[in-house]
Amino acid sequence: MNNKPYSPNDRRPIASRNTSWATSISRRLAQRGISPNAISTWSMIFAAIAALALVAISYVSDSVITRILWWVVLLGIQLRLLANLFDGMVAIETQTASPVGELFNEIPDRVSDTLILLAWGLLPDSSLFLAVSAAFLALFVSYLRAMGAAAGAGQAFAGVMSKPKRMFVLSILCVLHALLPQAWLDTMHAGSWGLDSWGLLIICLGCLMTAWTRLQHIVHTLNAKAQPTPPSAR
């Protein structure tokens, strides 16, 4: 691999990146020769496992197996997020990045979001329309961030429904399905709308708010950069 010193672009602020456990794990991964691109690919595999578990839930009638599958979904989501955390940390630890590193940083994320959200729409109490909408809006807010960076406004990670927050909403749904009695879950239905439909609606509305927030940030930043520098500040 044609590696070069790693100089990352603006990175999403993640508090756990500065913890001792994350630093220790990333160092061990680097020592074992595991590349950042491989870790990025694994994030997509973990997302696919979560998506397959969601599809299985649609066909399983046994409540115990269903609850186990919800824990599998939760595990897949969390491992996907950990892989997203460690790929950049390993690149920094080894001070190397491949020429296609940015592609591996972005494409698996988009595939992972789409797999999980679309699979959520196949659940019995879910809405495929909301799932498709959520997947589209997740792609759109990421597109805005990338376009802002390409236009010179930097990476706009702001917003109430960024990737970690989308996965947080879905993780909460997993825990509720895994722990709450079925009778309680049934009371959350409003017509054909169940718990999962409400969760997807929250993600859709949050993504719309996030898109507006990011667009405002990008426009404000680009306009500010276009302003002529006052003579006194030169």
Q: What is the mean pLDDT of residues 179-183?
A: 85
How far is it, in rounded angstroms, from Cα 1 to Cα 24?
25
**Lowest-confidence range among 47-51, 209-213, 227-231?**
227-231
114 is a domain residue: yes
The reported pLDDT for the residue numbered 1 is 44
Q: Give me the chain's average pLDDT, please.
A: 85
Confirm if 88 and 11 have CB atoms less than 8 A apart: yes
Task: For helices 63-94 and 20-31, give the axis angle rounded to 10 degrees.
Answer: 70
131 is a domain residue: yes
pLDDT digits (tens, 9 = 90+) for 99-110: 666 777 788 999
**Lowest-confidence range among 61-70, 113-122, 133-142, 157-166?**
157-166
Instruction: Provide the number of structural domains found in the chain.
Output: 1
Q: How much of the chain, in percent, has pLDDT values that exceed 90? A: 48
70 is a domain residue: yes
168 is a domain residue: yes
- Structure tokens of 97? 């990045």
2 is a domain residue: no
If we measure between CA atoms, which residue out of 10, 22, 20 comes closest to residue 90?
Answer: 22
Q: What is the domain range of residue 46?
A: 19-226
pLDDT band at 120 (very low <50, low <70, confident <90, very high): very high
158 is a domain residue: yes
The reported pLDDT for the residue numbered 205 is 98
Q: What is the mean pLDDT of residues 37-48?
A: 92
pTM as predicted: 0.86
Query: Which backbone phi and psi does 214 adopt, to 5 degrees?
Result: -70, -40
The reported pLDDT for the residue numbered 161 is 94
Dihedral sign from CA coordinates of 64, 42, 90, 14: negative
The reported pLDDT for the residue numbered 232 is 60
Q: What is the mean pLDDT of residues 115-134?
A: 95
184 is a domain residue: yes
233 is a domain residue: no
Cα-Cα-Cα-Cα dihedral of 89, 95, 99, 101, to 10°? 0
**Lowest-confidence range among 5-19, 48-62, 150-164?**
5-19
How far is it, in rounded angstroms, from Cα 190 to Cα 165?
25
Please tell me which residue, 9 or 123, carries the higher pLDDT value. Answer: 123
Query: Which backbone phi and psi does 111 adopt, to 5 degrees?
Result: -65, -45
The reported pLDDT for the residue numbered 2 is 46
CATH for 36: 1.20.120.1760
The per-type count for the chain, helices as H runs and strands as E runs, is 8, 0
How far is it, in rounded angstroms, from Cα 173 to Cα 151?
37
Say yes or no to pLDDT of 74 above 50.
yes
Please tell me which residue, 194 or 226, carries the higher pLDDT value. Answer: 194
How far is it, in rounded angstroms, from Cα 71 to Cα 171?
9
